[in-house]
Amino acid sequence: MPRSSTGSQIETLIQLLARVPGLGPRSARRAALHLIKKKDALLGPLAEAMAEAHAAVKVCSTCGNVDTRDPCSICADERRDASTVIVVEDVADLWALERAGAANAMYHVLGGVLSPLDGIGPEELNIRSLVGRVEAGGVDELIVAVNATVEGQTTAHYIMDQVGDLGVKVTRLAHGVPVGGELDYLDDGTLSAALRSRTAF
Amino acid sequence: MPRSSTGSQIETLIQLLARVPGLGPRSARRAALHLIKKKDALLGPLAEAMAEAHAAVKVCSTCGNVDTRDPCSICADERRDASTVIVVEDVADLWALERAGAANAMYHVLGGVLSPLDGIGPEELNIRSLVGRVEAGGVDELIVAVNATVEGQTTAHYIMDQVGDLGVKVTRLAHGVPVGGELDYLDDGTLSAALRSRTAF
């Protein structure tokens, strides 16, 4: 868009919006226009919410979750079972597990997976702090809930190696047919895994 | 997401992001997480850009464009041909025409199209101010660049009625095959129109 046709503040807004995941250059323009039209109902509150989040957000020094307090609300929650720690790749995975309400346990966010090609070794991930938490005692079970990708499984094995001698039980998520999934559309690996891990009816 | 697992500032940010067009509840969470991870590189600047846009944006009292000045940069541009006014439905259409660099003319933004079922009559659109601009003199041609929909064409006819006696030339965009388009995928109406308006080779 030629500079002459819009003010520089609008131009800056479009350029920054285009860097938000889910928005491209085209949808950023559409979003900017919508925000400008809803100036007081949306643009103003959103600007304020972003400024507040920017000021308030912290990374939990125990588990790596993002929250507005440190230790985060999960680590500080005494009703949770502190003897079980779920190890996830990313905060998004933690949020997904919390949404599912699947566990009443603690978490540990690795911040990624081992990927030598991308230059991500053990030092780039929060593995040392995980080993520290296990060594400090009180953890009975580590549930390694990394993605079922090659990198995820490599990371899981590396963690197993690191904590293997510390007397903690290490488990991982079950493979199988997704609930509501159709067999016809599943890949061979998942089908084989589901068959191997079949359960009594 | 249960309230306990994230701070209220993060929750507010996600809820507001979900109202941005192009983002839904799911991608709003993803976007919020990305913004939080890039706290200083993206979240901070975006908050600032939004606050600045909120403070600076004005609607041009002449043409209805949004800009940070009134009259807008287009209306204030003396190198433009003020005798030609392109009538568009929305600011997005104005931006599209400006991006294409298709014209060196003035614009008039209607703010929508006539749609009795949605309760949008002539009074809800900037039609009176358009007639006023024509009556004030200096406008030789109105190019009605509304969408090729039923509502758009109805609006075009209504505008034609309103300015018909004022001695201004009223034109509309040509129908035809989009540049780069394949005949096979075009609808019958477009094909017929392209055939009727065929030009010498």
Q: Considering CB atoms only, which of B22, B53, B65 is closest to A13?
A: B53
Pairing status of strand B141-144 against strand A66-67: unpaired
Could you tell me the pLDDT band of residue B191, with boundaries at 50, 70 and 90? confident
Lowest mean pLDDT among A85-89, B104-108, B170-174: B170-174
Q: 3-class DSSP state for residue A83?
A: strand
CA distances from B37 to A69, A99, A138, B123 (A): 16, 20, 30, 47
Q: Which residue has the tokens 């889910």?
A: A22
Average pLDDT over residues A112-136: 92
Nearest neighbour of A7 by CB, restricted to B48, B56, B92: B56
Q: Exposed, middle or buried: residue B100 (CB in 10 Å: 0-12, 13-18, 19+)?
A: exposed
Q: What average pLDDT does this structure show over A129-138?
A: 92
The conformation of residue B46, written as its DSSP 8-state character, comes to H
pLDDT at A1 over 80: no
Tokens of A168: 């903690």
Instruction: Name the architecture of domain A81-172.
Output: 3-Layer(aba) Sandwich (3.40)
Contact indicator for B159, B144 with CB cutoff of 8 Å: yes
Is pLDDT of A194 > 90?
no
For the segment A115-125, the average pLDDT, to the nearest whole number, is 90
Residues 6 or more apart in contact with residue A74 via CB below 8 angstroms? A60, A63, A65, A67, A80, A94, A98, A106, A107, B4, B5
pLDDT confidence of residue B102: 79
Q: What is the CATH number of domain B3-56?
A: 1.10.8
Question: Looking at residue A156, what is its pLDDT?
Answer: 92
pLDDT greater than 60 at residue A128: yes
CA distance A200 to chain B (A): 33
Q: From A79, which residue of chain B is nearest by alpha-carbon distance?
A: B4
Chain B residues touching A37 at Cβ < 8 A:
66
A105 pLDDT above the threshold of 80: yes
Inter-chain CB pairs, A–B, below 8 Å: 189
Query: Quick check: A185 pLDDT over 60?
Result: yes
**Domains in chain A: boundaries:** 81-172
pLDDT of residue A6: 62
Q: Which pLDDT does position B108 carry in this prediction?
A: 96
For residue range A134-184, list pLDDT tens digits in order: 999 889 999 999 988 899 999 999 999 999 889 899 998 888 888 888 888
Residues of chain A positioned with their CB less than 8 A from the CB of B44: 54
CB under 8 Å to B6, separation ≥6 — which residues? A66, A67, A68, A73, A95
Q: What is the mean pLDDT of residues B128-145?
A: 92
Residue B95 pLDDT > 80: yes
Side chain identity at residue A148, one-letter code? A
* B182, two tokens: 């394949």
**How much is the average pLDDT of B168-186?**
86
All residues of chain B having their beta carbon less than 8 Å from the beta carbon of residue A47 are 47, 50-51, 54
Q: Suggest the residue from B1, B6, B67 to mutate for an interface test with chain A (most A CBs closer than 10 A).
A: B6
Report in angstroms the alpha-carbon separations of B181 from B177, B192, B197, B200.
6, 15, 17, 20
Question: Mean pLDDT, to the nearest integer, of B51-79?
Answer: 92
Out of B7, B57, B99, the one facing A39 most closely (by C-beta) is B57
**Does position B2 have pLDDT exceeding 70, yes or no?**
no
With pLDDT > 90 as the criterion, what percentage of chain A qualifies? 62
The whole-number pLDDT of residue B61 equals: 93
Q: What is the pLDDT of residue A32?
A: 93
Helical pair B25-37 and B8-17, crossing angle rounded to 10 deg: 130
Q: List, as one string, the DSSP characters of B153-191.
A: HHHHHHHHHHHGGGT-EEEEPPP-PPTT--GGGS-HHHH
In chain B, which residue's Cα lies nearest the Cα of A1? B99
- ipTM for this prediction: 0.77
CATH 3.40.1360.10 fits B80-172, yes or no: yes
Answer whether A5 sits within 8 Å of B95, measured CB to CB: yes
Asked if B5 and A52 come within 8 Å (Cβ–Cβ), the reply is no
Cis peptide before A71 (omega within 30 of 0): yes
CA distances from B52 to A34, A46, A176, B39 (A): 16, 12, 51, 18
Q: How far is CA B166 from CA B105, B129, B144, B173, in A?
A: 20, 14, 16, 21
pLDDT at B1: 41
Q: How confident is the model at residue B46, as a pLDDT?
A: 94
Which residue in the block uniquely carries the two structure tokens 């100036």? A39
**For residue A178, what are the contacts with CB-CB under 8 A and spacing of at least 6?**
none
Q: Which residues have CB under 8 Å from A79's CB, separation 6+?
A: A104
| Cβ pair A36:B57 closer than 8 A | yes
Query: pLDDT value at position A79?
Result: 94
Average pLDDT, chain B: 89
State the Cα–Cα distance between residues A170 and A164, nearest whole angstrom: 8
State the best of A3, A4, A5 to mutate against chain B, taking most chain B CBs within 10 Å. A5
Q: How far is B36 from chain A (nearest CA, A)?
A: 7
What's the CA gap between B88 and B148, in Å, rounded? 12
Rounded distance between C-alpha atoms, residue B164 and residue A147, angstroms:
67
Q: 10 Å Cβ neighbour count for A186?
A: 16
Q: Is A92 within 8 Å of B8 when comparing Cβ atoms?
A: no
Consecutive H or E run containing B134 = helix B127-135
* B-chain residue closest to A48, CA distance: B47
Name the nearest CA neighbour of A19 among A28, A11, A10, A30: A28
Q: How far is B86 from chain A (nearest CA, A)?
A: 14
Residue A142: predicted pLDDT: 92
Contacts of A95 in chain B (CB under 8 A): 1, 5-6, 29, 33
Express each pLDDT in A15-61 by its tens digit: 999 999 989 888 999 999 999 999 899 999 999 999 999 999 999 99
Q: What is the pLDDT of residue B6?
A: 62
Q: Classify residue B142 as exposed, middle or buried by CB count within 10 Å of its CB (0-12, 13-18, 19+).
A: buried
Inter-chain CB proximity B73 and A47 less than 8 Å = no
Tell me which chain B residue has its CA closest to the CA of residue A37. Answer: B66
